[in-house]
Amino acid sequence: MNLGEADKLVTFFSLDRGMQKGTAKNARKSFRRFGAGLEAFTLSRLHLYEREHQDLPRIESADILAQHAEICCNLASAAAGAVMLELVKELAPPGERNAPVFLLLSQVLHLLNEGGDPVFLLSIYEIKLFSLLGYQPKLDRCLSCGSLPKGETVFLAMKGGILCPDCMVSSGESQLRLSAGAVGFYYQALRMDMDKVARLKPSTSILQELDRTFSAYTFHIIGKRLKSTEFLKTVCAL
C-alpha cells in the first residue's frame, strides 16, 4: 500500500515472525533501492531496522531469493496466487511464527510459478493451510449422529463439519453437497507431502466442490468475501 508521498506499507509473511507489516522508505520514488524485492509472490530476505516505541519496523533492503515472475504472466495463476496471499493474510495471527505455513506458501508459489494448475494448487493449499492454522474442517464423521457416511454429505460452514444423508433433512441451513470422492481427496491431500500431492489428478467436479466448501467456510471464519476470490471466479470457471 502507498504511504504518504514516497513510501510504502508492506505486508509480508515471514519465516521468523509470521504475518508482519513494515515501512519501506522511498520505495515509490526509487525503484533501485528495493528492485522487485517487495513485489507480490516474491521470496526475499528482508533487512529490518527496529526502534523502541516504534510501531512498525523499517525495511532497509530486500534481497530476492526467488522471484516467481511467471505467476503474473498468466491471469489464472495470478488470480489463484492472490487468493493464496489474501488467505494467509486474513487467517494467520500477526507476529506469530509458523514455519510449516511459510514452507507451504513457498512450495505452492514455486509450483504455481512452474506452470502448475492454479485451481488444483489453490485447493491443495487451502486443505493444508486451514489445518496448519487450526481451522481444519471435520469431514469424516456426521456432526449430528457421529456415523461415518459413505455417500454424499452436506457441509455446514457454520460448524465446519458435515451431516450424513439421514441427518441432513432436518437442517434448515443452505446445503453445500460434498461427494465421497471429494471427501476422499481431501483426506488424501491432507496427509500427503507437498511433493507427492502435486501428482494427484482429481476431477474438475471434485475441485469445484472443495472450492465452494472452502469459500463458504472462509466467509464464515473471517466474516467477509475475499476480494481476490471474486477476481478468480471471473478468470476461472469455478
**Residues near Zn ion, by CB under 5 A:** 142, 144-145, 164, 167
Place of cell 525503484: 31
Nearer to Zn ion, 106 or 144 (CB): 144
Q: In the complex with Zn ion, which residue's Cβ is closer, 164 or 206?
A: 164
CB of 143 to Zn ion, least distance (A): 7
CA distance 209 to 199: 20
- Chain-centroid distance of CA 220 in Å reads 15
CB-nearer residue toward Zn ion: 59 or 167? 167
Q: Give phi and psi for 137, each to the nearest 5.
A: -70, 155
Rounded to 5 degrees, what angle do the CA atoms 68, 219, 214 make? 60
Nearest to 213, CA basis, from 160, 140, 143: 160
Closer by beta carbon to Zn ion, 131 or else 179? 179
Residue 184 C-alpha cell reads as 476422499
Q: Whole-number minimum distance, CB 155 to Zn ion, in Å? A: 13
Whichever of 121 and 142 has its CB closer to Zn ion, that residue is: 142
Beta carbon of residue 144, minimum distance to Zn ion (angstroms, whole number):
5
Q: Least Å distance between CB 176 and Zn ion? A: 16
CA–centroid distance for 86 within its chain: 7
Q: What's the closest the beta carbon of residue 179 comes to Zn ion, in angstroms? A: 17
Q: Which helix (H) or strand (E) holds 210?
A: helix 204-222
